[in-house]
Structure formats: C-alpha cells, structure tokens
Chains A and B, each alone.
Chain A
Amino acid sequence: MPETTLIAEQPAPQPDQTGPVVVFDNVSIAFEDKQVLEDISFTVEPGETRIVLGPAGCGKSVLMKLANGLLCPDSGSIHVFGEEVSKMPEVDLFTLRARIGMVFQESALFDSMTVCDNVAFRMHEEHMPEDEVQQRVLESLRFVELEQAVNKFPSELSGGMRRRVAIARAVVSKPELILYDSPTGGLDPITSTTIIELVMKQRDVFHNTALVVTHRLQDAFTLATHEYDVQEHTMKPIPNKGIDPKTKFLVLNEGRIVFDGTTMDLVHTDDPWLKEYLS
C-alpha cells in the first residue's frame, strides 16, 4: 500500500530545536480600543502539541497570526525558533516562515489556482524542479487522501476537502512548526474527526511542534487521548486510558490566559469558570 511505504520510508524527523519553539512574553494587542489579548505569556517546547481553547472572540486566531508574524503586538515579545518575530521586518519573516506551516480557519486556498498549484505554491516560488514539485504535491495530497483532486479548483471541493488541501499545503514543505487555526471549524462531526486524524497523524508520525486552535472540546480531548496507528491507518485510544504526554492545553477567556498546563490538570481543575466551560 503506497501510503504505508511512504510513511515507512520517511523516518520521523527529530526536532533539532534545543530551546522552546514558541515563546510569548507579556504580549498584548488591541484593535480599535478593544483589548483582544492582554499580557499573554506561554511557551511551546519542541515536539509539543499545544491546544488553544476558548470561547468565540477571545483572541485565539489573533494569537495564531501573532505567532506567525502576520500581526505585530502592541507590547511584549514573541520568539519563534529563537528569533524575535515581533520585531523582524517582513522580508526576514518570509525566510523564517519556511519553517512554519499554517492552516487558516476558512482554508484560504487561492481560488484562481488548482489544488496542485495551491499545494505547490511555496515550491514554485522557490523555483524547485517541476518533477520534484509534482512528486511532493502528490505525496502531500496522498497524506490527506485527496490525490484524485489534484487538478480540481477549490470551488469544486467541499468544505472538508478544502480544509484537507489546506493541510496538505501547510505540510508539503515539512515544516517544524504547524499552526492550525480552527481546522474543524464549521465542519460536520464526521469530517471534523477526519481532520483531527490528520493532525494526529502529523503529530505522531513526523513529531512536529503544533499550535492547534479549536473551540470544539471533543476534538481537543480526542487529540489528547488518542494516537495514530500507522499500521492500521486510523486513530486509536491510547492504551490504558492514557494521555499523550506531549499534548498540553492553553485556555483563553476575554483575551487572558485562564489555564496553561497538562490534560490531567485541566480535567481536575477547581476553577469554576473552567469547570463550566468544560462541562
């Protein structure tokens, strides 16, 4: 089976980052007098999957864009791979972003380009040889099980398929850090599970560092309590009701961090707001 062979041939890359991958230090940002994020500080270690939870409008998407340097904070500093993205000029950020993959909330596929051109975008910009581009595009689409859609336009795809193509586009360059902004937002439960399985596959096979924004608690806890089985090509609960040790949580409310810790700490929290949010 080609997919098994593909994954078996690619050894899981070990993170070569010795320090934290993402560091937010007292970051605040406001839009038109509305404080969106206030005094946000947290760290993401290499190989860790940090799930960002919170009610709608609490600043989760803004946090993702700050991490990628798409927005600049009003105060505080953001370090990604040891470099201060909050102060870097855009030209230098382009180079850093080669190590970061981002999946946007509404996919953000280029609708005038085919799926192939969307996934190959970064490689075309880098003037990679066309046969290598084609090979990597097909590998990436095979990863998200959409190889047959290679010549379709985004308008011909369903919402779930667009989201999968967006993931393929984000992972085709084998980034060390992946930012998922609500990858299951607006999707039905079955399609959401498919997307979460892909996120899990990326985590367990390639051991990337990831920030996953979601407002769906079931997706968050699925990520924390399941693992991807390479042999059977599906996710399975971690044996003995285990928890993935590299999956941690960050909960935001009204622009502030209300929880930063492990799955077990979150589940056993005494905070009344958190208890109500999780119930």
Chain B
Amino acid sequence: METTHARTELIGKAAARPARRRRARQVGSPVLWFAAPAMAIYALIVLYPSLAGAYYAFTDWSGIGSAKWIGLENFKTLFRDEQSFGSLVNTLKLTAFIVVVQNAIGLALALAVHTRIKSRNVLRVLFFAPAVLSPVVIAFLWKYMLNPEPDAGLNAMLGFLGLGFLQQNWLGDPSVALWAIGLTVVWQFAGFSMVIFLAALQGIPRELEEAAAIDGAGRFQRLHRIVLPLIAPAMTINLTLSTIGGLKLFDQVFAITNGGPGYSTETLSTLIYKQAFVFGAYGYSTAVALVLTLLVAGLALLQVRYLQGREVTY
C-alpha cells in the first residue's frame, strides 16, 4: 500500500517537473510578452470595470454619494420581491418562446428556400431583411401593428382574412402582451436563424441524400436521419444565440410596452434599467445584472455542451 503510494508520488513528481518547466518556458515565452500589452488593456477596460461593477451588487449605492456594504440583501430582494421575481419568470418564458418558435420558423424557411424555386434568392433577402433593422424601429412598427382597434394594424388584417375571432387587445391585455412581444422578436430574427440553417443545408453533400433516397428513405426520414443530424452545428449556434438574445431582451420590451401593463412584460433587462435610472437603486440594479450575467453564461454553457454532444459528421 505504502509502496504503491510512494510510487504514485514519484510518478506525480516526475510528471509535474516537465509541466513546471513548460510553464516556466511559457512565462518567458516572447508570445506571452507580446500578448501582455493587449491583456493589460483588456484587464483595464473589461475585467476591472466588470469586477468593480460586481462589487456594487453587494451595496446600497444610489448612484450618487457613497455605497454601504449590505451583503446579500439585494439578492434576497430579487427573489422575494413580486415584481423582480415576476420579471425573472417573464424573461424565462419569453426566452423559451423565442428559442422554440424562432428556430422552428427559421428552419422551415431555410428548408423552403433551399429548393429550386425561382424566387428563392428574392425570398432569402426578404426573410432576412428585418434582421438588419434596428430593434427599436421594428418595435415602433409593431406598436402600430398591434393597435387594439379592430380596424387598425394586425387586427384589421385578421378581420379582412375572416379571422376576426383571433383579434386581440395585443398590448393592453396582460395575458397576451408578453407573447405579442415574443412575436415581434420572432418576426425580426426568424430570417437570421434561416440564414444560419441555410448555410448548413448548403454544406450537406448531395450524394448523401441521393443515396438515402435510392435506399428508399422518404422525405421525412431523410430530414430526420440525414439533414437534421448534419445541420446540428447550425442548430447549436442558433439555439445558443436565440437563448442569449431572449435572456438579454430589452429594446423591444422597452419601446413597445415599457414593462406594462402592470408588470406583465417586465424582463430582467428592463428591471435593471428601471432600478438604476428611474429609482436610482444602482446597487440593486447591479445585483440583478449580475444574476442575469450568470444566468446567460450558465444556460448558454449547458446548452452548448449538450448540443455539441449531439453533433455528428459523416
């Protein structure tokens, strides 16, 4: 037992020596020295402000004057306060909606324009166009479209199509408003997801699909067994980007409903803004921002790990 232990220790030491030497070589390496100025600037501009900002999450700072250390009080408030906790729930609901619907529509559009139809190039541009516009511009456009009057905007279109029963008080009804905002985000970014899926579809060797077809695989089987596994990297990118975008969503909510009616569309990002700039509660706002950062990083990391495990290559 003892012998085994001593041997393990020896092996460990022997292994540690070259590693130490390697590290020593790395410290003296010109590569590191050349990277040092950039790293110093990065530390000064990114790391230091971020860490200094995180400190305020544990204080009662009001934006002016000194800050008093209050420990975890801000974090307790976040989970205790109905409005704050509601905004966390709204953020998660909205993110789930955006991730599922945006990518489903994006994939459907990509499959549709990855055919030989003559208008495919025009359609690709049209579907992608909203993604290049400012979210605030889109928000104001949809604010008009989501007018509650039956003879205006989306309600008028639904009425014209004989779908009057679907007319809604889109932004005035607390049970509908959150999904109406989700709809505007999906409308804007489904084309963006489409472009990523389309790039992946164009990278699938044609012979794979042809071979499967010759082997008797139907359209759905080819999609399920060949196409979807091969576009898994694109799926990873799309799901990760839409998750991060959904969790951080601010512009559309702020411009369309400003968190209302009541707090029914409040998200963590709008809460951060209001706490800091409307209430002057900078400390609390920083705490919410820290939670949002951890949430985005944690969820994105888990998602990427899981999705990358599903990726295949032929």
- A, B co-complexed: no
| Residues of A participating in the B interface, judged by any CB pair closer than 8 Å | none
| Residues of B participating in the A interface, judged by any CB pair closer than 8 Å | none
